[in-house]
Structure 1
Amino acid sequence: MHLDRAGADGRGTMSARRRRHGHGLGWPVAAAGMALTVVAAGCGSTAGNRTAPANGPSDGPPRSPHPTASALPLVDAQAADPIRIRVPGVGIDAPIGPLRVGADGVLPPPRAFDRAGWWQAGPEPGERGPAVIVGHVDSYRGPAVFFRLSTIADGARIFVDRADGSTAVFAEQRIERRAKTAFPTKAVYGSTSDSELRVITCGGRFDRRKRSYRDNVIVFARRVR
């Protein structure tokens, strides 16, 4: 389901003793030579007080990709590791750390709510293929690193700073909200002819029983000059 916007629209409160890290189906992983693995991970609230982003979005009609961004493919043969993600239009400016799939097939979210995580087994941002960056949407203390990701504008620039001092620039192509039980593995992890980026967090309604959001918000972006 393609959406114009996808906000975290769960509301309500929980007592302090119930504020624990949210769990839920997260990001199925596909890599060269690997079978698809359903990954259980939390990407959202630790469940306390939650509020929608200021001037937050509502679900809307489908959004089509932006041809201006797709007209400028740019690929690095080898890129340095990402160290920071910046999306000025929505106030995102955060460090990035590597994430590894564990022996149990789980890609965990970043431990810190103010940091993003990069799927290290995938391409570095700027290389051919889809680089994947994930982060929490909120915590019981308030907004987390990707709290306003769902409000990103059409064609907005996403900057990924790398360890060698270079920056890879991507342009938003579309944003989707998908149920965690129907994660679009092929669309997120499938091979591409150019350099692309997926930025993922939680969204949709908050499931009080599971203490996690029901959906994933996925921003698809393509590298531009």
Structure 2
Amino acid sequence: MPDAPLRTQAVVAWLRGGGLSAVARAVSVFVAVLSVGLILASFVWPEPAAPVAANPANLPSGAPLKLVIPEKGVDAQVIPIAVKDGVLDPPQDFRQVGWWEGSSIAGPSGLTVITGHTVHTGDGAMDLVPDLGENHEVDIVTDKQVLRYMVTHKETLTREQVQKQSEDLFSPGPDNLMLITCTDYNGTDYTENIIVWAQLVGSRPLKK
């Protein structure tokens, strides 16, 4: 069974505190929630098709429906998640990931934030996100197309560092996609968060 999400007074204070934008405060909350790990079973990942190039600036945006990481064999359903009672809970099903509805829909219009649990025994949807490096490819499936992103950089931070750096971490920039999960399992829980940024580079049509 998954552990209960973090709901401490400190987390609520992040959301209500001054100095940070509403976006940064809300993201800080759910990044803290990601320190909770799951211990669950396995499943098989399908292999996606290759994309075709397109001008990223002209691509239509859409709500993300699936996260696909071809090189890592990841194919996970994306469901919308929102802040409730000061907490943004990732999906309890470790095979799913969550798109924070307070961020942009997928495409060139802004930063899309996707998060999910890591399973320390293996086979969670976000388990291999810490292994992503520069130029790894990430696909986001919408109801219109498959959007391809290229990883630009990543950073591992403690929850305290995320809180302090939230305004810079989640401010608008050249990257269109942010993947966030937990990392550094100490035998009891996860002590850090891994944040991966990626830039939109192209698309391919949906399969008929």
Please say if residues 44 and 138 of structure 1, whose CA atoms lie closer than 8 Å, have aligned partners that are also in contact.
no
- Does 1:41 pair with 2:33? yes
Rounded to whole Å, the distance in 2 between the matches of 1:45 and 1:73 is 38
Rounded to whole Å, the distance in 2 between the matches of 1:122 and 1:198 is 10
* Structure 2 unpaired stretches of 5+: 41-53, 203-208
Give the 4+ runs in structure 1 shifted more than 4 A. 22-26, 28-35
Identify the match of residue 79 of structure 1 among 61, 67, 77. 61
Aligned partner of 2:45 in structure 1 is: none
Aligned partner of 1:175 in structure 2 is: 154
Q: CA RMSD in A?
A: 3.2
Q: More helix per residue: 1 or 2? A: 2
Q: Percent identity?
A: 22
1:143 counterpart SS class: coil
Aligned partner of 2:179 in structure 1 is: 199
What is the aligned residue count?
177
Instruction: Report the TM-score, using the length of structure 1 for normalisation.
Output: 0.67
Aligned partner of 1:93 in structure 2 is: 75
Q: Specify the code of the residue in structure 2 equivalent to 1:178.
A: L
Please say if residues 61 and 109 of structure 2, whose CA atoms lie closer than 8 Å, have aligned partners that are also in contact.
no
Select the structure with the greater relative contact order (CA < 8 A; seq sep ≥ 6).
1
- Does 1:109 pair with 2:90? yes
Q: Specify the code of the residue in structure 2 equivalent to 1:181.
A: E
Aligned partner of 2:198 in structure 1 is: 221
Rounded to whole Å, the distance in 1 between the matches of 2:171 and 2:95 is 28
Give the 5 Å matches for 1:112-191.
112-138=93-119, 142-164=122-144, 166-183=145-162, 184-191=165-172
In 2 relative to 1, CA 94–34 (structure 1 residues): closer, same or farther, beyond 3 Å?
A: closer
Rounded to whole Å, the distance in 1 between the matches of 2:200 and 2:56 is 6
Question: How far did 1:114 drift?
Answer: 0.4
In 2 relative to 1, CA 181–23 (structure 1 residues): closer, same or farther, beyond 3 Å?
A: farther
Aligned partner of 1:12 in structure 2 is: none
Question: How far did 1:170 drift?
Answer: 0.7
* Structure 1 unpaired stretches of 5+: 1-18, 49-71
2:102 counterpart SS class: coil
Question: How far did 1:44 drift?
Answer: 4.4
Rounded to whole Å, the distance in 1 between the matches of 2:88 and 2:58 is 26
Rounded to whole Å, the distance in 2 between the matches of 1:35 and 1:142 is 30
Rounded to whole Å, the distance in 2 between the matches of 1:34 and 1:198 is 14
Instruction: Report the TM-score, using the length of structure 2 for normalisation.
Output: 0.72
Rounded to whole Å, the distance in 2 between the matches of 1:187 and 1:73 is 28
2:71 counterpart SS class: helix
In 2 relative to 1, CA 136–168 (structure 1 residues): closer, same or farther, beyond 3 Å?
A: same
- Show CA shifts across 1:52-82 (max 9, x none): xxxxxxxxxxxxxxxxxxxx98336862211
